[in-house]
Structure 1
Amino acid sequence: MTRFLKGMLFASTVLASAGAVHAADVTLTIESWRNDDLAIWQEKLIPAFEKANPGIKLKFSPTAPTEYNASLNAKLDAGSAGDIITCRPFDASLELFNKKQLVDLTSLSGMANFSPVAKAAWSTDDGKSTFCVPMASVIHGFIYNKDAFDKLGISVPKTNEEFFAALDKIKKDGNYIPLAMGTKDLWEAATMGYQNIGPNYWKGEDGRKALIEGKEKLTDPEWVKPYEELAKWKPYLGDGFEAQTYSDSQNLFTLGRAAIYPAGSWEIALFTSQAQFKMGAFPPPVLKAGDTGYISDHPDIGVGLNAKSTHQEEAKKFLTWVASPEFANIYANALPGFFSLNSTPVKMSDPLAQEFVSWRASFKPTVRSTYQILSRGKPNLENETWVESANVINGTDTPKVAGEKLQKGLDGWYKPGK
C-alpha cells in the first residue's frame, strides 16, 4: 500500500510539473506574406530563438503574397490575427498603425540599432513613432558578366563616362547585348532604371524629402536629368526590347547573352543558381569622379506587434531579438540579397551579396522616391513613374514631357505640408 501511495505521489508530482511547464509555454503566431522563406524560419530562425527563450514557441504562418493584405486586414478587424505582423513598407503598415492595430515600438529595446533611413518605411510621417522592427532591404545596382568584361578588357565603371564607354565597347564587339532590360512590364524601367540611377542626381534623401516638402518639383533638372540618361540606354538594349518582359531580361542575362543587368539584389539567389559564368556587381556610377555616391537601399520587410495580442511581453522579447545582430546575421546569410537594416554590419557568405552590401560603407543610402506619401492619391506617382520611365526609353515621351506629366499628376491631389 505504501509503495502504491508513493507511486501515486510521484506520478502526481511529475504530472503537475509537466502541467506547469505546459502552462508556461506561450506560442506566438507570425503572420507573413513571405512563403518562400518558410524553410529558413523552420530550420534556422525559430530554433535559434526558442533555444534562447525557453517557454516561448514560434509558429510561422505565411499567406500567399497577393492575398496577404486582404487576409491580414480581415483577421485584424475580426481580432483573429497572429501576435506578430510582418509589415510591408510605408503606407499599408502606416494605415494599420493609424487604426491602432499595431503597437508603437519606438521605445523597444534594440530599436536604437536602426538609422532613421532604415526606420523610415515603418515610421509616422513626422518620424516620431516607429511601429515595426526593420528586417531587411534590397539594394539597387548593376550585376555584370565577369567573363564578358575580362574577355573585352573592360574595367568596372565608376563614373557615367566610364559606364557609357563600357556599353560602347560591348556593343562594338557584338557578342553580347550591353544591357539586359525591357520595357514591356513598365516597372523594370522605373525600379531598375530611374530609381537606380536617380539618387545620384537628386542627392538621395535630400532630394526625396525636398520633393515631399514641395521645395523641389519633378520638372526640376535633378529629376529630369535621370530620364535624359535613361533615354541614352535605348541603343544598348536588345532588339525588340519594347516587347521584352522581366523574365525575358533575366533569361538573357543568365544564359550569357547580355553583359550587364540593371538590378535589384533580390536577383542574387536566382542568378547564382542559373548563371554558368562568374558574376560581379557595381553601384550606380557617379556623375563625375569625386562625387558623393548614392544607393537605393530600399526597405522591404519589417515585423510589428498586433495590438490585440494576449502575449505582449513575450512578443516584445521576440521583436527585441529580431532587432539584434544575431538575427541579422542568420537572416541575411540565409536569404542573400535581402540585407539586414541593422547598424551592425553583417559579413555575407555569398560573395555577390557581400559586394552589394559593401557599398553601404562609402555610399549614402536612400529609398525609392515615390514610396513615402507621394503615391497615396490618384494618379499614383509610383505607377505613373513606371509608365513614364518606359515611355522615355521607348522614345515616345521626352524627359522634359515625362517630368511635366508626373508633376501635373502629383499637383492634382498632393498639397505639400497639408
Structure 2
Amino acid sequence: MIKKWVPAAFGSLLALSLAATGCTGKQGDGKEKQVTITHYTIDSPDRTFVEKLVPAFEKLHPNIKVKITKAPYEQFDSKLQSSIAAKNSPDVTSHWGYGGFMEYYSKGMLMDLTPYLGDFKASDFNIPEDVMSIYQVDGKTYGIPLNSYVTVMLYNKDLFDKAGLSYPPTDYEDKSWTFDKMVEYAQKLTVDSKNLNEAQYGVDFGFGERDQRPQYFGAEVYSEDTWTNGGKPSEINLTKPEVVDAYKTIYGLIYDKKVSPTPAFSQSVSGQYGDPFLSGKIGMSVVGSWSLAAASNFNFKVGVAAVPYNPNGKVRSVLYVDPLFVLKDSKHPQEALEWIKFLISKDIQEQSIELSGGNPPINQAAAEKYYSHFEGIDPNGIKQVFEGAYKYGFESYNHLISNYSQINELFINELSGVENGDKRVEDVLPVIQTKLKELLDRVNK
C-alpha cells in the first residue's frame, strides 16, 4: 500500500472501454439468473443520487437488480456493523462513515477483488495506477476508486474586495503565497466585535483531521512505519517539540492571532449546511473540496486558491479518495463489480457530477466537466488547484490508519478543551499521547 498520490499519471488520458456484458450463470431454460445486489450509502443528496442511475444499469444488465440502502452519516458505521453481524451485509459500499479503508481491511470486512477483476485495467477507466494502489495490500485489490476530493482554499471575493486585498493564487508553485501571508491577509479581513452581525474572521484553517494537521507544518504525529505496517504506528510523536509547535500554531490562529473563529462562533453562524464559510463571515476557508458542491448556496462571490506554501512542510493538501468496496460476505461479487465499473465509466461519472451537485470524478476523462461545473468560478483555476493538490498531497489519515474511528474520537474529546480556549496544547498533548498508546496497545494486539 502506498501513502502518496503521484500526480504524473494524471497527465495521460486513455480511451475508455467498458464491456457491458452479463456475468452470471444460466438457468435450466438457458436464461441468465437474476440476482439483486445492495449498494449501501449515506442518506444525503450527494450520495443517494445513485438511485437515478440504477435504471440505466439494469437496462444494460437485465440479470442484475440494484437495491440502494442508506443511513445518516452518524449511524453509517454502526448500521454497517449490525448488518454484517446479522449476516445481511450489503454487497457494495465505501468508507463513508468515521472509519476508513484500513480499519475495514483490518476487521476482515472486505473482499479480495483480484480473482474477479479479469482483464480490468485502471487505465481503461482513466484511473492513475498510484491512486488504484492505495486500495491494494500485498498485491491484492480491495477497493476501486470512485471520487477524488482534495483540500482547497475557498475565499470570499466580496470581503477581499472590501479590504482591498488581491486574490490569492491558484498556482501551487507560487511561493509568495505563504502561511504567514495568509495570516497577514486574515488579520486585515478580521473584524473583532461582540456583535454577531458585525463580527467576521479572516481564516478557518480546517486542514484534514485533528491528528493530520501537524503534517502541514512538517511534523508527524505517527512513525513512518505506519504507512507500511497496515496502518499501525509503532511510535506516537505528540510530545515532540515540532508537533507541539504545530498545534500551538493551529490553535494560535484562534486565541493568539484571533483571526480564526471559535467553535462557538462557527456553530452559531453555520446554519443548515454546517459550514461557517457559507455565512459570509469568513474570509478564507481551508477545507475539503466537497464544499465546492455548495457553491450554488453562496450569497457572495467565491474564489478557489492554492493552500499556502509552508517552507517547513512538503504536504499542502489532504487527499480524500473514496473507493467502492465489495464486502466479504457478498454472494454476488462479479455482479457487484459490474455495478462498480458502470459507476466509474466516463459517461456515468459525468452524469454523476450533475446529479450529485459536484462530486469530483476519479475517471480523469470526466475531469474537465467537473472543473466547469461551478458557476462563477474559473474552471482553469479549479483545475490548477486540483493538479497542485495532487502533486503536494497525502492521503487522509482516516483512510490509512487502522481503528481510526476510536483514534479520532479520542482526539476530538481531548482537544475540545484546547479548541474552546480552556486548556493549553502543551498540557493536553501528553494526555493524548498516553491514552493513544494504551488504545493502540489494546486494539492492535
Query: TM over 0.5: same fold?
Result: yes
2:250 is the counterpart of 1:230 = yes
Match of 1:146 in 2: 157
Match of 1:155 in 2: 166
Structure 1 residue 35 displacement after superposition: 4.4
2:432 is the counterpart of 1:406 = yes
Q: In structure 1, how many angstroms separate the alpha carbons of the residues matched to 2:96 and 2:325?
A: 10
Match of 2:92 in 1: 84
Residue among 313, 331, 348 paired with 2:352: 331
1:216-227 alignment, distance < 5 Å: 217-227=237-247
2:202/2:259 contact within 8 Å kept? yes
2:124 is the counterpart of 1:103 = no
Q: In structure 2, how many angstroms separate the alpha carbons of the residues matched to 1:341 and 1:217?
A: 34
2:395 is the counterpart of 1:367 = yes
2:62 is the counterpart of 1:69 = no
Match of 1:136 in 2: 147
Q: Which has the larger radius of gyration?
A: 1
1:200/1:286 contact within 8 Å kept? no
Match of 1:303 in 2: 324
Which range moved further: 93-102 or 400-409? 93-102
Distance change in 2, residues 1:205/1:53 (3 Å): farther
1:196/1:284 contact within 8 Å kept? no
Q: In structure 2, how many angstroms separate the alpha carbons of the residues matched to 1:156 and 1:142?
A: 11
**TM-score under structure 1 length normalisation:** 0.73
Q: In structure 1, how many angstroms separate the alpha carbons of the residues matched to 2:290 and 2:71?
A: 20
2:284 is the counterpart of 1:260 = yes
Structure 1 residue 192 displacement after superposition: 7.0
Structure 1 residue 96 displacement after superposition: 5.6
**1:10-68 deviation per Cα after TM superposition (whole angstroms, max 9, x unaligned):** xxxxxxxxx9797554443322234434662233x324434544543333232344444
Distance change in 2, residues 1:150/1:21 (3 Å): farther
Structure 1 residue 144 displacement after superposition: 1.4
Structure 1 residue 336 displacement after superposition: 4.4
Distance change in 2, residues 1:60/1:331 (3 Å): same
1:18-417 alignment, distance < 5 Å: 25-37=34-46, 40-43=49-52, 45-88=53-96, 102-106=110-114, 108=117, 109-111=120-122, 113-116=127-130, 120=134, 122=135, 128-157=139-168, 158-171=177-190, 177-179=200-202, 191=208, 195=212, 198-202=215-219, 209=227, 213-214=233-234, 217-234=237-254, 235-238=258-261, 241-246=262-267, 248-249=269-270, 253-270=277-294, 272-288=295-311, 292-299=314-321, 301-336=322-357, 338-342=359-363, 346-347=367-368, 348=370, 349-351=372-374, 358-363=384-389, 364-369=392-397, 372-373=400-401, 375=403, 380-387=406-413, 389-414=415-440
Structure 1 residue 394 displacement after superposition: 4.2
**TM-score under structure 2 length normalisation:** 0.69
1:133/1:302 contact within 8 Å kept? yes
1:231/1:393 contact within 8 Å kept? yes
Q: In structure 2, how many angstroms separate the alpha carbons of the residues matched to 1:79 and 1:279?
A: 47
Structure 1 residue 274 displacement after superposition: 2.8
For 1:165, what is the secondary structure of its paired residue?
helix
1:180/1:260 contact within 8 Å kept? yes
Distance change in 2, residues 1:90/1:358 (3 Å): farther
1:136/1:339 contact within 8 Å kept? yes
Structure 1 residue 177 displacement after superposition: 1.3
2:122/2:132 contact within 8 Å kept? no
Percent of residue pairs identical: 21
**1:352-376 deviation per Cα after TM superposition (whole angstroms, max 9, x unaligned):** 5965564342232213336543655
Letter matched to residue 164 of structure 2? G
Query: How many residues are paired up?
Result: 383
Please report the RMSD computed on the Cα atoms of aligned residues, expressed in angstroms: 4.2
Letter matched to residue 37 of structure 2? L
Q: In structure 2, how many angstroms separate the alpha carbons of the residues matched to 1:203 and 1:97?
A: 24
Q: In structure 1, how many angstroms separate the alpha carbons of the residues matched to 2:107 and 2:282?
A: 48
Q: In structure 2, how many angstroms separate the alpha carbons of the residues matched to 1:302 and 1:201?
A: 28
Distance change in 2, residues 1:194/1:150 (3 Å): farther
Distance change in 2, residues 1:161/1:339 (3 Å): same
Structure 1 residue 72 displacement after superposition: 3.2
1:337/1:353 contact within 8 Å kept? no
Q: In structure 2, how many angstroms separate the alpha carbons of the residues matched to 1:372 and 1:24?
A: 38
Structure 1 residue 116 displacement after superposition: 4.8
Letter matched to residue 201 of structure 1? G
**1:288-327 deviation per Cα after TM superposition (whole angstroms, max 9, x unaligned):** 49x745201124x432224444433322222233444444
1:138/1:264 contact within 8 Å kept? yes
Distance change in 2, residues 1:71/1:256 (3 Å): closer
Structure 1 residue 149 displacement after superposition: 1.0
Distance change in 2, residues 1:197/1:278 (3 Å): farther
Which range moved further: 134-143 or 83-92? 83-92
Letter matched to residue 153 of structure 1? G
Distance change in 2, residues 1:98/1:410 (3 Å): closer
Name whichever structure is richer in helix by fraction: 1
Structure 2: gaps of 5 or more residues = 1-27, 169-176
Q: In structure 2, how many angstroms separate the alpha carbons of the residues matched to 1:206 and 1:358?
A: 32
